[in-house]
Structure 1
Amino acid sequence: MNDDRPTRRRVLAATGAGLVGAVAGCSAPSGTSSIEGGPTRDIDRDNTADGSSFTEVYESIIDSVTQVRVFGVSDPLTDDEGRGQGSGFLYDENHLVTNDHVVADGEEVDLQYINGDWTGTRLVGTDYFSDLAVLEVDHAPDDATPLSLSDERPVVGQEVLAIGNPYGLEGSMSKGIVSGIERSVNAPDRQFSFPDVVQTDAAVNPGNSGGPLVDLDGNVVGVVHAGGGNNIGFAISAALADRVVPTLIDDGEYDHSYLGIGLLSVDRIVAEENGLEAATGVAVTDIVSGGPADGVLEGATSTVERRGEPIPVGGDVIFEIDGEPIPDRHALATHLALETSPDETVEISLWRDGSETTESLTLGTRSR
């Protein structure tokens, strides 16, 4: 990253309050934008069921989950002209976490808590590469307490709850399990993948984006990112959010490590064509000119066609980074996201020209 490129925080500061209000949705001065509401859930009804342990989790955190309403954009998911919506949750007393894609390009952003209260916001920072954003809130109800990011890595089979506002249906909850971990999911422009994504079979629909995926202790396992259909949903992991969100609060932006390579997970066919003893690792298919790997790593020198697909031959195959195994592209993305930072030098163990070797590489910063 060029030293003279202004940070997002400096850009926001330089534009003044008027533009910040237009981008972030500060609809009134701080301290005057809270409007109380009347939630239907506070109506005293007879003959209500006892609920379950899931009800207890829901009741313990629902006051901290908000509906996010974004004005000035067209929402392709709801066909709502000039308006989009999603979910978010309190990260600390003053800040709310949601998705970058929920608030991106919005002119105004309002939040409504489950108790009916409304509040204005200011944009603090966004990160396109993790799909995370932070808003500063003017007001939080007394019962709304910050949610904790889980300090444990999720495991497949773990029960989780997705809480948010699918299709604008406020305060909804769905139950499922963690059905996959350490996924990398293609971004809409397919120029990169979101790293360290948690997969779940809990129902996730438009409007859930930005809401919490929680464990049965109410800790946030992930920030809901998208529904993939066919009972597959995705969430940005708490581990990645724990790295990105504090930096967004402090600096308004977050820098991601960048290798500058094209890559392909090694399967049996790739292993056979490159003389590998095992189908593991990441094949370097090409090198981005001028990127961190340029002059350090080697891309494929040719391709062969197997089963109608081009198979890279002759390039490096990455096995380890700093001693940690890299069995596939998902592991590579997770390692770069959670264990490295730009300008760090890493040791890469790889297969080149029929033998193992090691190269030192200084990571760059990913740019959009």
Structure 2
Amino acid sequence: MDQYRPGRRELLATAGTAVTGLVAGCATPRTDSSIEGSSSHGIDRENRADGSTYTDVYDAIIDSVTQVRVFGIEDPVTEEEGRGQGSGFVVDGEYIVTNEHVVAGGEEVDLQYINGDWTTTRLLGTDVHSDLAVLEADHVPEEATPLGLADERPVVGQEVLAIGNPLGLEGSMSEGIVSGVDRTVPAPHGGFSFSNVVQTDAAVNPGNSGGPLVDLSGNVVGIVNAGGGNNIGFAISAALARRVVPALIEDGEYEHAFMGILLRSVDRLVAEENDLDEATGVIVTETIPGEAADGVFEGADRSVRRRGEEVPVGGDVILAIDGEPIPDRHALSTHLALETSPGDTIAVEIRRGRREETVEFTLGAR
């Protein structure tokens, strides 16, 4: 994966350390808007204010951020052919990362770089479960050098910048912090969730999807994929992208590990009804017939109603995987996404009834 972490530009080396409808991309064909704005290639860079550290980061990476325009999308209301738009960025040579939902349903995808250059592309691969896609561009400007996917995981309070094309406004940037990590966010469609998601209060809007969320060294900490309003935005983590993107380039697809269970975090009510000493772990509410967990784990055999909700009783409680504590469903989701692959055999520590035991378990594929 070294090719996804090129050296930072000299400019950033001295920059210092200052400073269910969640989709933020093109879920529907783009319509005409009265909002217009000059892209950065129309700005006089020789006659401007000094700016800030944010300006330095912007200048260092903006040439590598693209506008993604998708043609051939059918309007679900009128059934007429339209187009959508989002954002993307260069990761290696001619490869461009964006969101799966940005390009989904499109027949052709064009890119426009900030210098005004246009290019056609080929779709190499998509992964709906991480909302990532990789395009191969026919043309990449010399200035559009690859952006690196961060090695270090982000922390709450870390300053970040979202760069992309909200509402089709090229080369826009917003600033914020990492508001949360290891989020599990329901996908708008499909009955599954995105794992290991980064939460930010940097403003993201329709058109930001697929664009980079970067730290102040210009490293990509996440790929923006959703905005829920009220200063809450989400990005697919660089840690997950480092696993998925190479597979999309090489094979056009990526297989996620899958246990085949339905589950719930153990809260106080679950702990009380299952005679657990602590409110920690995840309880198996059901195993999916025919999937890997079928016949290995035991789901809840009944439920009781407490404070207006159904509380599962009797299922296995997962406490740890391969020695790593699993305090809640977010930890389980993150561990599976970042540490395992289909076919791996893992040691799952469970509480079953009154005893604790370890179950050897081979993961399936989603």
TM (normalized to structure 2)? 0.87
Q: Deviations over 1:102-125 (max 9, x none)?
A: 001101100000000000000100
The aligned counterpart of 1:124 is 124
Maintained 8 Å contact 1:198/1:222? yes
The aligned counterpart of 1:317 is 317
Q: For residues 63 and 247 of structure 2, what CA distance do their matches in structure 1 show?
A: 25
Against the structure 1 CA distance between its residues 209 and 108, is the aligned structure 2 distance closer, same or farther, given a 3 Å change threshold?
Answer: same
Is 1:141 the equivalent of 2:141? yes
Q: For residues 143 and 280 of structure 1, what CA distance do their matches in structure 2 show?
A: 50
The aligned counterpart of 1:171 is 171
Partner secondary structure for residue 250 of structure 1: helix
Unaligned runs of 5+ in 2: 1-37
Cα offset for 1:354? 1.3
Partner secondary structure for residue 294 of structure 1: coil
Maintained 8 Å contact 1:261/1:287? yes
Partner secondary structure for residue 351 of structure 1: strand
Q: For residues 118 and 291 of structure 1, what CA distance do their matches in structure 2 show?
A: 46
Maintained 8 Å contact 2:111/2:119? yes
Q: For residues 73 and 107 of structure 1, what CA distance do their matches in structure 2 show?
A: 7
Q: Deviations over 1:28-56 (max 9, x none)?
A: xxxxxxxxxx9653443785211000000
Maintained 8 Å contact 2:182/2:195? yes
Taking the TM superposition and a 5 Å limit, the aligned residue runs for 1:93-132 are 93-132=93-132
Taking the TM superposition and a 5 Å limit, the aligned residue runs for 1:215-230 are 215-230=215-230
Q: Deviations over 1:205-232 (max 9, x none)?
A: 1000000000000000000011011100
The aligned counterpart of 2:274 is 274
One-letter amino acid of the counterpart of residue 60, structure 1: A
The aligned counterpart of 1:337 is 337
Is 1:73 the equivalent of 2:73? yes
Maintained 8 Å contact 1:210/1:225? yes
TM (normalized to structure 1)? 0.86
Unaligned runs of 5+ in 1: 1-37
One-letter amino acid of the counterpart of residue 282, structure 2: V
Partner secondary structure for residue 116 of structure 2: coil
Q: For residues 350 and 40 of structure 1, what CA distance do their matches in structure 2 show?
A: 56
Against the structure 1 CA distance between its residues 47 and 111, is the aligned structure 2 distance closer, same or farther, given a 3 Å change threshold?
Answer: closer
Partner secondary structure for residue 228 of structure 1: strand
Maintained 8 Å contact 2:39/2:171? no
Maintained 8 Å contact 2:40/2:171? no
The aligned counterpart of 1:182 is 182
Is 1:64 the equivalent of 2:64? yes
Against the structure 1 CA distance between its residues 170 and 74, is the aligned structure 2 distance closer, same or farther, given a 3 Å change threshold?
Answer: farther
One-letter amino acid of the counterpart of residue 293, structure 1: A
Maintained 8 Å contact 1:75/1:84? no
Q: For residues 189 and 174 of structure 1, what CA distance do their matches in structure 2 show?
A: 27
Maintained 8 Å contact 1:165/1:208? yes
Q: Deviations over 1:76-115 (max 9, x none)?
A: 8xx9961100000001011000000000110110000000
Against the structure 1 CA distance between its residues 255 and 45, is the aligned structure 2 distance closer, same or farther, given a 3 Å change threshold?
Answer: closer
Taking the TM superposition and a 5 Å limit, the aligned residue runs for 1:339-354 are 339-354=339-354
Against the structure 1 CA distance between its residues 63 and 259, is the aligned structure 2 distance closer, same or farther, given a 3 Å change threshold?
Answer: same
Cα offset for 1:355? 1.5
The aligned counterpart of 1:19 is none
One-letter amino acid of the counterpart of residue 55, structure 2: T
The aligned counterpart of 1:150 is 150
Partner secondary structure for residue 241 of structure 2: helix
RMSD between aligned residues: 1.8
Against the structure 1 CA distance between its residues 201 and 81, is the aligned structure 2 distance closer, same or farther, given a 3 Å change threshold?
Answer: farther
Against the structure 1 CA distance between its residues 53 and 317, is the aligned structure 2 distance closer, same or farther, given a 3 Å change threshold?
Answer: same
Against the structure 1 CA distance between its residues 201 and 249, is the aligned structure 2 distance closer, same or farther, given a 3 Å change threshold?
Answer: same
Q: For residues 300 and 248 of structure 2, what CA distance do their matches in structure 1 show?
A: 37
One-letter amino acid of the counterpart of residue 260, structure 1: G
Q: For residues 225 and 140 of structure 2, what CA distance do their matches in structure 1 show?
A: 24
Q: Percent identity?
A: 71
Maintained 8 Å contact 1:74/1:84? no
Partner secondary structure for residue 73 of structure 1: strand
Against the structure 1 CA distance between its residues 182 and 259, is the aligned structure 2 distance closer, same or farther, given a 3 Å change threshold?
Answer: same
Count residues in correspondence.
Answer: 328
Compare 140-149 and 43-52 and name the one that shifted more: 43-52
Against the structure 1 CA distance between its residues 48 and 316, is the aligned structure 2 distance closer, same or farther, given a 3 Å change threshold?
Answer: same
Partner secondary structure for residue 334 of structure 1: helix
One-letter amino acid of the counterpart of residue 51, structure 2: G
One-letter amino acid of the counterpart of residue 267, structure 2: D
The aligned counterpart of 1:254 is 254
Partner secondary structure for residue 82 of structure 1: strand
One-letter amino acid of the counterpart of residue 351, structure 2: W
Cα offset for 1:189? 2.4
Q: For residues 43 and 290 of structure 1, what CA distance do their matches in structure 2 show?
A: 59
Against the structure 1 CA distance between its residues 264 and 91, is the aligned structure 2 distance closer, same or farther, given a 3 Å change threshold?
Answer: same
Q: For residues 58 and 46 of structure 1, what CA distance do their matches in structure 2 show?
A: 16
Cα offset for 1:287? 0.6
The aligned counterpart of 2:199 is 199
Q: Deviations over 1:108-152 (max 9, x none)?
A: 100000000000000100001100000000001111100000000
